[in-house]
A = this chain, B = another copy of it.
């Protein structure tokens, strides 16, 4: 066939991302197949590659979608919260990961070839989540420590990520950890409310 009026290029891209995200959410990164996505939206495999160029770029688009949904979820869950925002933020972090476990895991299972950087719009989506965390951390810190917010946010993001990763991968399960969220929260409180390191 030729040019089709029923779907613009932009709409087609969106169809692929939507169906692809559904796919990767169901079967996970390892079993994800571009061909299957094509079949389900009624296009051929060639079209996928015309639109995205490469399997890697398709994955990048799907993971980007996950990041968008994740940030939106975090912001939605925190708005209006006045009680214990740090706790709520960490809980929401885990909630999203658990309820989108395959999509969330895919973000970390995928690796660009060595030396290749993620495109700017993808980096921007990571940054958006980071900015959210920075703002939240700054809020928790006493005024004299506001300068630490960015550095502390990076470290706390990594801390919570580690706990979440261990929770979803099953590592925590056979290490005997039954409350990953609680553990992550304890580390966060240590850092935000703790004294200066003794050494």
Enumerate chain A interface residues (CB-CB to B < 8 A).
28, 30, 84, 105, 108-109, 111, 117-118, 123, 126-127, 130, 150-151, 154-155, 157-163, 165-166, 169-172, 174-177, 180, 183-184, 186-187, 189-191, 193-195, 197-199
Contacts and interface: CB of A to CB of B under 8 A. Distances in A.
A111 B30 contact: yes
A58 to B, nearest CB: 15
Contacts of A130: 175
Copies of chain A in the complex: 2
Majority SS at the chain A contact face: helix
B126 A174 contact: yes
Given A30-B111, A189-B198, A163 B158 contact: yes
Contacts of A157: 162, 166, 175
A30 B183 CA distance: 32
Contact of A191 (B111, B175, B187, B199): B187
B183 A158 contact: yes
Given A154-B175, A159-B162, A159-B163, A187 B190 contact: yes
Contact of A158 (B155, B172, B176, B193): B172
